[in-house]
Structure 1
Amino acid sequence: MKTWWKEAVGYQIYPRTFYDANGDGIGDLKGITFKLDYLKALGVDLLWIGPFFKSPMDDNGYDVSDYYAVDPIFGTLDDARELIQEAHQRGLRIILDLVLNHTSDEHPWFIEARRNQDSEEHSYYIWKKGRINAQGQRIPPTNWSSFFSDSAWCYNAATDEYYMKIFSEKMPDLNWAEPKLRERMMEVARFWLDEGVDGFRVDAVAHLAKDLRFEDSTMPLDAQGNAPDWSKFSNLPALFDYLDELKDQVLRHYDIVTVGEVGGGASPDMALNYADAQTGAFNMVFTFDHCWANGISAGTVSFPEQVKTDVIALKKTFAAWYEGLHERAWLPVYWLNHDHPRVVSQYGDPVHYHKPSAKMLCNTLYLMYGTPFMYNGEEIGMTNVDYTELSDFQDVWVKNLYEGVKDQYPLAVLMDHFRRTSRDNARTPMQWSAAPNAGFSMRTPVSKVNGNYRAINVEAQDQDPDSILNHYRAVLKLRKSAEYKPVFIEGEFALLDEDHPDVFAYRRVNSGKTIFVVSNFTGKDTEYTIPARHVRCLLSSYPDSHPQPPKLILRPFESVVLDVLE
């Protein structure tokens, strides 16, 4: 079995705000093609490109209305083919988001399904008759909540039925219990694989199977009268039968990589159902367990918010996934994606220690066990937004939360919370230069640019040997070097002092070589002792580090990578 993806470094691109080649203010596929040489020089070799299929964009392209077409805002199918070809010529592979759980309500299948109860397309979706309550009112088939806090059902007058939708009402869930539907979705996967893509990140895959008994949940109801009981449509046994069929009929016939999105709350044992090297349908799965280890949450507001990285919890989360999977499955590791805050704002200090804290986070993650994925802009230390007006935010979650809590908190408190947690933080235009609009576009961008682009941008950092960008390049070069690749790719990973509250330290060992990565996650000087006396410092988050082991005096956010010589 080919495992090229174990040695790869992934890079997620949010196409809407990566680079605008045609000057309309929206990023596009030609913009990605234009920047391939930059990505090659960075040292990544696996590009995960967010959805660019035809879509009404109710959910940033995850609501697909045509799986075989590129949305006009991103370009054409020929642009996609050119991107794939140009990437391959540079030794770069491409994976796409494969959205299997739902379509847009504007997909031709659903347009026919909601119109004609006797059509084949009707069987592609999940339909149930409503109920009549004691007051004589029509109510949904079950009390299940969607992930958006409303009912998981939406009424369709044309057929006098409800269709299931665990996300937006414009995103009806597909009926994976229907064999004809499964074949149609496998045709979609084959189409893109035959076009040359190198695999998929499979969106919301945990939800393909539903509890077909369609019984009310006994869980307490929320304020909207719905039960947020995700067990009714998450990780059910039939899901793995569907995935086995997908693997047998499609995936195993191509030299590709597949990454399932199973989200937060999934255990390592559960992940093995997806990604066991012998039996799983996928090569690895993304989990979100490590993304909010600092006392704040995207879903709730507290006053005052105490933001402090829980270094112990962060370490133990990474270690638990390694210990649970490493002998049976491969791991992806990452700091953020398009739904999370910028990591230098989340776990670093972009105000006082921007450069060392960004470099420290790079050292800590990219030398771990597993396939790392960075998010576009991370490599220059892009930060959370500096928005001053509520109208600057585009994230629908911000607008919904604001309406729900605006009478409980002052606007200034809510703005602080949104600047820390909003999905807009990861979706501002990529900061290419100090030119207007951060060099992203000649026109006003679709999302407001972060005001610090004049200081934080690719062009400025490219020429600075001590920049965050050049540090990322150096770390990836070290990771892939002939001398150190065996220890970083296949070497043992072991935490050191997992209960130390300030230092994230670990050891990588393989073939007689031992590497220590020691990172201070605080803004104060910290002492730390390693079990070695003779080392060579390979990398540091400061340009003038000269560690003298065994006792290290780590400056604020200092991180050192040490090769043990004894």
Structure 2
Amino acid sequence: MWWKNATVYQIYPASFKDSNGDGIGDIPGIHSQLDYIQSLGVDAIWLCPIYDSPQHDMGYDVSNYEAIYPPYGTVEDVEKLIAACHARGLRILMDLVVNHTSDEHAWFQESRSSLSSPKRDWYIWRPPRLDAAGQRRPPNNWRSCFGGSAWAWDEATGEYYLHLFAAQQPDLNWENPATRAAIYAAALEFWLRKGIDGFRVDTANTYSKHTSFPDAPVSNPAHEYQYASPLFCNGPRIHDYLREMAAILKKYNAMTVGELPLTPNPADVLAYVSAQESQLDMVFQFDIVELGTGPDMRYHTTPRNWTLPDLKARVQATQALMDGTTDGWSTAFLENHDQGRSISRWGCETTPSLWSASAKLLCILVTTLSGTLFLYQGQEIGMVNAPLSWDIDTEYKDVESKNYYAFVRASSSSSSSSSALAAAKSALQHLARDHARLPMQWDGTPHAGFTVPDATPWMRAHDNHPDINVKRQTLDAHSVLSFWKKMLSIRKAYPDVFARGVFAHVDPEDERLFMFEKRGEGRRVLVVLNFRDEVQEVRLEGLLGGRYELLVSNNVEIGEGEGMSMHVLQPYEARVYLV
């Protein structure tokens, strides 16, 4: 199983590299940077959706699984990319988006054409219900993940269709065997036959809904539509569907990693990733990346409202499946296309030295955890969130960000509007998906080298790109980029303690230091992380025992193996000892 000691590099195609000067990243642009990707020491790449799409949700609204979004390139471009990856020993994964399609997909166009359409039952349609005044209402009170009702009215046929996300993303009806067969043929086997090595499975636990579609409990009486995720996640037939899909993937020896939101119970996670269950090879657990988000609405929160013990508990939750007592497997990650940048959330951006130290500390944290490691583009050079000064209306592009900001604007009274919008902007600047989608920072030229200087990029490059970029860091042996390469090499050299080791806390309630052990085959490592921007004292003698070596530190002022103070950690200092 190659993926158990692997690092996967995630690519957001629109923002990675533009090869033709139209301001949008593309497949040939990715192809042109394979040497750079390989130099990192990763084993595979994962492409966010590249299928043809009207782009209401950046490609997660697929209009044709067997075609490519024209600004990204062609099917032939993808075939060339697959061949080039394999020639370099890299594997390639695609995003599998099959909870829903675009409303422009031919399947949905036929489904909505009439009540008697042969494909009517390929999507989830329901008649309206009437309120006490006889007014038409949606079939239930579910709130879409992007806000508003999860149901959209279709005037032509007089029914509502379900959309857990945007109204342009109608949910497929997985209860219909014909629908599932069409999904497997178009979205899976078409690409597997071309040599794709696996899939990241989008919203892998939402395909089975409770078909009675009951109202969600009223958790917020002030809102018409309610949080309903427990009613559409982990539904009654989800494991049957995934097992059926896995049987097809097995024929091609394809790997899967499922997105698994709203599944906090380890026993429930194990039901998806147990080798015996034959469903998914691994999943993305959301425990860490949901730290600090709002309980009802993701952005209804304040930045940095977390404690270090909170983070420790969430890290422990992601490691529990790999404690040696189960046959399950999971992942290690801090960033992806749906999250704010990890340094902005848990590190420090205020000064260059603290930015660098905290970037390397977070690198040590995630590379020493068990599971398959996922690295998001730009994370390896320490990219951070867009500044608070950027205007939400003009600079933020994501449908979720725009919908939330519009919701706050519409629902605030005139007297509270200014403060409510300021709070919303602060939360979005901390957590919005837009931050991960800023152009990759290749160099200090206009638009960060993402596209040609006279182009208009689809998103603005970060203002800090002259200081934080690949070209500059490639020339610096002490850069964040150089440190990531070093840590990936170390991780690969010690798979028994890093990728497969058993995680154990050291003082989980300590609010200054995060220390943990990883136990492998006859050896262990001790990881020591100072999450504060001030010097901390620590005594390690009792934890290290008699024989040990300093495997790595992010403190460039000291040489590894000598000159170490056993009792003092500099701000955001991190160390890994091999015992």
Instruction: Tell me the TM-score normalised to structure 2 length.
Output: 0.92
Residues 218-268 of structure 1: per-residue CA shift (max 9 Å, x gap): 4456544223222322101211111111122x0221222101111144321
Alignment of 1:419-458 (within 5 A): 419-442=429-452, 443-458=455-470
Alignment of 1:186-265 (within 5 A): 186-187=184-185, 188-220=187-219, 222-248=221-247, 250-265=248-263
Conserved? CA contact 1:15–1:50, under 8 Å: yes
Report the Cα offset of residue 308 of structure 1.
Answer: 5.6
User: Closer, same or farther in 2 for the Cα pair 1:486/1:144, shift >3 Å?
Assistant: closer
Residues 183-219 of structure 1: per-residue CA shift (max 9 Å, x gap): 0111121111111111111111211111112333444
Alignment of 1:282-361 (within 5 A): 282-294=280-292, 299-301=298-300, 305=302, 307=304, 309-326=306-323, 327-352=326-351, 353-361=354-362
Higher mean C-alpha displacement, 317-326 vs 276-285: 317-326
Higher mean C-alpha displacement, 495-504 vs 55-64: 495-504
Report the Cα offset of residue 323 of structure 1.
Answer: 2.3
User: Closer, same or farther in 2 for the Cα pair 1:99/1:294, shift >3 Å?
Assistant: closer
User: Closer, same or farther in 2 for the Cα pair 1:190/1:209, shift >3 Å?
Assistant: same
Residues 69-106 of structure 1: per-residue CA shift (max 9 Å, x gap): 00001000001111111011111111111011100000
* 1:266 matched residue in structure 2: 264
Conserved? CA contact 1:132–1:138, under 8 Å: yes
* 1:558 matched residue in structure 2: 573
Q: For the residues of structure 2 that align with 1:308 and 1:540, how far apart are their CA atoms?
A: 28
Give the secondary-structure state (helix, strand or coil) at the position aligned to 2:102. Answer: coil
Equivalent of 1:389, from 388, 391, 404? Answer: 391
- The one-letter code of the counterpart of 1:290 is I
* 1:363 matched residue in structure 2: 364
Higher mean C-alpha displacement, 178-187 vs 209-218: 209-218
Report the Cα offset of residue 135 of structure 1.
Answer: 1.6
* 1:404 matched residue in structure 2: 407
Conserved? CA contact 1:293–1:311, under 8 Å: no
Conserved? CA contact 2:45–2:93, under 8 Å: yes
Equivalent of 2:532, from 522, 529, 532? Answer: 522
Give the secondary-structure state (helix, strand or coil) at the position aligned to 2:188. Answer: helix
- The one-letter code of the counterpart of 1:502 is R
* 1:380 matched residue in structure 2: 381
Which runs of no fewer than 5 residues in structure 2 stay unpaired? 410-415
Give the secondary-structure state (helix, strand or coil) at the position aligned to 2:269. Answer: helix
Report the Cα offset of residue 309 of structure 1.
Answer: 4.8
Conserved? CA contact 1:272–1:280, under 8 Å: no
- The one-letter code of the counterpart of 1:403 is A
* 2:127 matched residue in structure 1: 129
Conserved? CA contact 1:296–1:307, under 8 Å: no
Report the Cα offset of residue 322 of structure 1.
Answer: 1.9
Higher mean C-alpha displacement, 89-98 vs 406-415: 406-415
User: Closer, same or farther in 2 for the Cα pair 1:488/1:169, shift >3 Å?
Assistant: same
* 2:558 matched residue in structure 1: 545
Give the secondary-structure state (helix, strand or coil) at the position aligned to 2:417. Answer: coil
Equivalent of 1:89, from 87, 90, 110? Answer: 87
The answer as to 2:15 corresponding to 1:17 is yes
User: Closer, same or farther in 2 for the Cα pair 1:313/1:223, shift >3 Å?
Assistant: same
Q: For the residues of structure 2 that align with 1:173 and 1:518, how far apart are their CA atoms?
A: 45
Q: For the residues of structure 1 that align with 2:568 and 2:224, how far apart are their CA atoms?
A: 56
Conserved? CA contact 2:205–2:259, under 8 Å: yes
- The one-letter code of the counterpart of 1:105 is D
Q: For the residues of structure 2 that align with 1:235 and 1:261, how far apart are their CA atoms?
A: 12
Q: For the residues of structure 1 that align with 2:467 and 2:183, how far apart are their CA atoms?
A: 46
Give the secondary-structure state (helix, strand or coil) at the position aligned to 1:438. Answer: helix
Give the secondary-structure state (helix, strand or coil) at the position aligned to 1:201. Answer: strand
- How many residues are matched? 557
Give the secondary-structure state (helix, strand or coil) at the position aligned to 1:237. Answer: coil
Higher mean C-alpha displacement, 55-64 vs 532-541: 532-541
Conserved? CA contact 1:388–1:415, under 8 Å: no
Higher mean C-alpha displacement, 441-450 vs 231-240: 231-240
Residues 420-444 of structure 1: per-residue CA shift (max 9 Å, x gap): 1221111100000011110000112
Q: For the residues of structure 2 that align with 1:562 and 1:389, how far apart are their CA atoms?
A: 45
Give the secondary-structure state (helix, strand or coil) at the position aligned to 1:26. Answer: coil
Conserved? CA contact 2:442–2:449, under 8 Å: yes
- The one-letter code of the counterpart of 1:522 is R
Equivalent of 2:27, from 21, 26, 29? Answer: 29
Give the secondary-structure state (helix, strand or coil) at the position aligned to 1:346. Answer: helix
* 1:58 matched residue in structure 2: 56
Conserved? CA contact 1:219–1:229, under 8 Å: no
Q: CA RMSD in A?
A: 2.0
Which runs of no fewer than 5 residues in structure 1 stay unpaired? none
Report the Cα offset of residue 324 of structure 1.
Answer: 4.0
Residues 346-382 of structure 1: per-residue CA shift (max 9 Å, x gap): 1111222011110111011101111110110000000
